[in-house]
Amino acid sequence: NKWRIVLPDNGRQWKDQKQVSTFYSGNKIKTTKYSWFTFLPQNLFEQFHRLGNVYFFFLAVLNWFPQVEVFHREITMLPLIVVLLASMVKDAVEDYGKHQFDKTINFSKTRVYDK
């Protein structure tokens, strides 16, 4: 277990406070799941945890083999692509809304009581 040390702001323990504050992050609130770089891989990873998406992916892969081909390849991939894109857009909009709300909360004024 790591214990967090809270030091009073009286100026005498500046050296200790500086050392402790480098280890811990600030009071920022972050409720978003994604960043710009992790959105696509993380979202695809979450999408393929759903059984329906795995099923349509399996059908699309299976349809690339000429012996098993039932429909045109593009037609088999279409439902999967539409569902993945719609889910990605929904998740991106939700995450952006969370980001905007976090930004509003993090930059709001607060009142700090001190002796």
What's the whole-model pTM score? 0.68
Q: Is residue 71 one of the residues assigned to a domain?
A: yes
Q: Is residue 1 one of the residues assigned to a domain?
A: no
pLDDT of residue 59: 86
Q: Is residue 10 one of the residues assigned to a domain?
A: no
Q: Is residue 88 one of the residues assigned to a domain?
A: yes
Task: Walk along the chain (115 residues) and give the pLDDT tens digit of each residue.
Answer: 566 556 555 555 555 656 666 666 667 788 889 989 999 999 999 999 999 899 989 988 888 888 877 777 788 888 899 999 999 999 999 999 999 998 888 888 776 666 5
Based on the structure, what is the number of domains in the chain?
1
What is the DSSP annotation of 3-66? Answer: PPP---SSSTTHHHHHHHHHHS--S--------TTTHHHHHHHHHTTSHHHHHHHHHHHHTTST
Q: Is residue 14 one of the residues assigned to a domain?
A: no
Q: Is residue 17 one of the residues assigned to a domain?
A: no
Q: Which domain holds residue 75?
A: 28-107
Q: Is residue 21 one of the residues assigned to a domain?
A: no
